[in-house]
Structure 1
Amino acid sequence: MIADAATRAVAADLERQSAHWVAAATTFLDAEEFASEAAWRSVETFVGLPLRRHLKVIVEELIDIGRATIALTRAARRDALALPEAMAAVQKLRRRYTQVETTLDFFGDAVSSRTSPQLRAALQALDALAGASIAPVLTRAGLAPIPVLTYVDKGMGASILRADIRLWAPGSINPVAAIKIVRHNLYRPTSLFHEAGHQVAAVTGWVPSLQESLGRSLAGDAELRAMWLPWASEIAADVFAFAHTGYASVTALFDVVGDARTLLRWPIGDPHPVGWLRTLLGCAMCRAAFGAGPWDDLEAAVVTGFPLRRADPTVRALLERSRSRMPGIAVACLTAPVPGLGGSPIGAAVDPARVSPAALAELDRTAGAALWTSPHWRRTEGIRIVALAGLREAEQPDKASAWIARAREWMTATPLAA
């Protein structure tokens, strides 16, 4: 059917719209539209190359869709029967553009958070530390390495956009694990390992196994089982952070969850354990792995400073019963089999004993002052240095600022990969 003047006018405008979106999409081929060249250079090759390659592919797919849409709009100028398909194609192109832009903007913002030489060095260090934390598990599980991109942002808690999940652009699979570190924990980055734990749990089948282990520990109390089992994903990540950084991970966690307004609350559907219980679980894991120590004082401070009488009456009994069973819960978490590790617990790949206070003291004594300056120690013991700095900050609150300054100086020095 030959298109009349009105139909041709509609088709012409559709072609104009399509040309606009294609032109806008073409600018995406330049990665510097979203982050500076210096910021992109700060991302290690192992991370940056697959990421930029993947982003280029989804942009090229968008441009191909745009060009096909332009062809449809041109056909509609000649044939009125083609107009509905052309109109639908333009709407699809608009939506795809937004989805691709969201994907690119996310990674551009992440890379662009490396705004100064100090931040670039710190985030490069975190990239390396996160990669080092998951490598032993992936190797033992026979899995390929996973690139990690860290970035800094505001807020209280860290987060992760896991590798191999779908991104905003249809058909686009995330090629890297993108981990957000918040500013207040940038130089005490135990949360980095919590987020890395989410990635490990996803690829090893850990969470269902941990749920079963928790279920056995809480046998005979259906209400506690119903409370604790949905928290397994976050608990697995906490266990992973604990295995890497010990008590430092527990005190850092309490600094995040220790809001008096929420510490004793249980929002239905929240995947995170009640903050009060989550802190006590960390202390119980310390006792299970290390015996008595400063975590006993932290638990006393939490229980005294936030007594259960402040909890909602509907939750109070569950919190009290959970506390009474915490030793068994801690053991269940630490010993839960990980399918990807052949049924061995996470400690088979990452032994918490390596970050006990005694082990960290021995590291400190053996390395001496070189621990904070030597490239060798940075490469071989970077994670344990994070654990040591966090432990000392917790043990010596009167010297906390000095330990934070030392950690900052260490993290912004020569990159760990050097």
Structure 2
Amino acid sequence: MITDAATRAVAADLERQSARWLAAASTFLDAEEFASEPAWRSVELYIGMPLRRHLKLIVDELIDIARATVALTRAARRDALAIPEAMRAVQNLRRRYSQVETTLDFFGDAVSTRTSPQLRATLQSLDALAAAGMEAVLGQAGHPPIPVLTYIDKGMGASILRADIRLWAPGSINPVAAIKVVRFHAYLPTSLFHEVGHQVAAVTGWVPALQASLGRVLAPDPELRTMWLPWASEIAADVFAFCHTGYASVAALYDVVGDARTILRWPIGDPHPVGWLRTLLGCALCRGVYGRGPWDDLEAAVVTAFPLRRADPTVRALLDRSRRRMPAIAAACLATAVPGLAGRPITTAVDPRRVAPAALAELERSAGPALWTSPHWRRTEGIRIVALTGLREAERPDEASAWIARARDWMTATPMAA
């Protein structure tokens, strides 16, 4: 029995703290602490149920730790020698609680963006499109399907929390690919396939292979090699979006990077290519696969609106030399042997010729008006419908509003099956 009053006070307070953390952790057992029941129900069965089971395991582990801590603090009230261990346990519990809360809060916020029937339908469509975008590559790589949870947020840039990476809670592995889609691109979601590209690249070992390809192409110019190799991850994702949605992805990307304040800047450490080069690479990809087309006009618009003389002198020559090597860079991106695809290039799994303007025009002609209403076309050609919509919106500026409205109506209709 502890007789010293001060030590007794410490022991009693440790028990109080541990009981408080246990009580708070117990509230996490109710998923509605983080999102409403209708919001959880709006997430398809194959996403929502596995995710909730995974989150429950995290919470159960936290509660087990909290109960063990309570037991330690109670023992410390009887034995002063147990107080240091009890203090460490309480501090560990505090940290674990915050890590679990961050994990639950992230997914709760993501699910809660499905606040209306329109947004629920849109996000369910985006879930299915993203899953379909990975399907062929994952299958050929011998990898099981990866469930996707999309959510809406502000800003200009999409992002992904990849499946199979560690979450904030120790020992917790993300069971879904959680993709942020910004409102600006929600109805012309080419950026969705950029983010999916990051997931595919991680599964297939694409990025190191692409770095090696770029290194070989740029070997005669060590400065350019140093510049371009750290961008390989973002370039792979851009190539993946291009293979899925063609020119639509390039035009949409320019909408994001075409900020006069930043398009010619090269912030050291930024994993994204300079916006000016990134757009020109997209145009070069189009030219390499499709020949001449509206991407030529886009490139002319970019270099006219943002001439190299506006770039910082320390970067200007690198941008100019990069532009002159762009056809070779684009060819290397398309031809890189991907380890997870048995050394075949990404174009063998996702053929960009399927979203060539002529191929999309034939889809539009053969399907007719049913392309925008038929569940069959939604299920079998959803990604190409996104590519067609983006192409028409980009190449027909006078009809852009009508195409965006058509895309919105299509995205908010009955969701396609994944």
Settle same-fold status: TM greater than 0.5: yes
In structure 2, the partner of 1:25 is: 25
Residue 205 of structure 2 corresponds to residue 208 of structure 1: no
In structure 1, the partner of 2:34 is: 34
> Where do 1:9-408 residues align within 5 Å?
9-408=9-408
Distance 2:414 2:89 in 1: 51
Deviation at 1:381, TM superposition (A): 0.2
Deviation at 1:2, TM superposition (A): 3.9
Q: Deviations over 1:187-214 (max 9, x none)?
A: 0100000000000000100000001111
Counterpart secondary structure, 2:283: helix
Distance 2:311 2:175 in 1: 43
Q: Deviations over 1:80-105 (max 9, x none)?
A: 00111111111111111000000000
State whether residues 3 and 76 of structure 1, in contact with CA within 8 Å, keep that contact through their aligned partners in structure 2: no
Pair 1:318–1:30, CA change in 2 (3 A):
same
Instruction: Name the count of aligned residue pairs.
Output: 418
Deviation at 1:47, TM superposition (A): 1.2
State whether residues 247 and 286 of structure 2, in contact with CA within 8 Å, keep that contact through their aligned partners in structure 1: yes
174-183 or 210-219: which moved more? 210-219
Q: Deviations over 1:126-164 (max 9, x none)?
A: 000000000100100111111110000001100000011
Kindly, what percent of the aligned residue pairs are identical?
83
Structure 2 counterpart of 1:332, one-letter code:
A
Distance 1:384 1:38 in 2: 31
State whether residues 188 and 386 of structure 2, in contact with CA within 8 Å, keep that contact through their aligned partners in structure 1: yes
Counterpart secondary structure, 1:151: strand
Counterpart secondary structure, 2:77: helix
Distance 1:156 1:278 in 2: 16
Distance 1:127 1:277 in 2: 30
Deviation at 1:6, TM superposition (A): 2.3
Distance 1:212 1:44 in 2: 40
Structure 1 counterpart of 2:393, one-letter code:
E
Q: TM-score, normalised by structure 2?
A: 0.99
Deviation at 1:3, TM superposition (A): 5.0
Distance 2:355 2:216 in 1: 28
Deviation at 1:13, TM superposition (A): 1.3
Counterpart secondary structure, 2:178: strand
Structure 1 counterpart of 2:299, one-letter code:
E
Structure 1 counterpart of 2:338, one-letter code:
V
Pair 1:14–1:261, CA change in 2 (3 A):
same
Counterpart secondary structure, 1:188: coil
Runs of 4+ in 1 over 3 A off after TM superposition: none
Distance 1:300 1:45 in 2: 47
Q: Deviations over 1:8-67 (max 9, x none)?
A: 221111111111111111111111110111111111111112211110001000000000
Distance 2:359 2:218 in 1: 32
State whether residues 2 and 8 of structure 2, in contact with CA within 8 Å, keep that contact through their aligned partners in structure 1: no
Q: Deviations over 1:255-279 (max 9, x none)?
A: 0000000000000010000000000
Q: Deviations over 1:291-330 (max 9, x none)?
A: 0000000000000000000000000000000000100100
Q: Deviations over 1:304-358 (max 9, x none)?
A: 0000000000000000000001001000001111100000000111000000000
State whether residues 163 and 178 of structure 1, in contact with CA within 8 Å, keep that contact through their aligned partners in structure 2: yes
State whether residues 47 and 147 of structure 2, in contact with CA within 8 Å, keep that contact through their aligned partners in structure 1: yes
State whether residues 152 and 180 of structure 2, in contact with CA within 8 Å, keep that contact through their aligned partners in structure 1: yes
Deviation at 1:219, TM superposition (A): 2.2
Counterpart secondary structure, 1:78: coil
Counterpart secondary structure, 1:269: coil
Distance 2:139 2:173 in 1: 22
Q: TM-score, normalised by structure 1?
A: 0.99
State whether residues 283 and 296 of structure 1, in contact with CA within 8 Å, keep that contact through their aligned partners in structure 2: yes
Structure 1 counterpart of 2:174, one-letter code:
N
Structure 2 counterpart of 1:201, one-letter code:
A
Distance 1:121 1:44 in 2: 11
Structure 2 counterpart of 1:290, one-letter code:
Y
Distance 1:25 1:398 in 2: 56
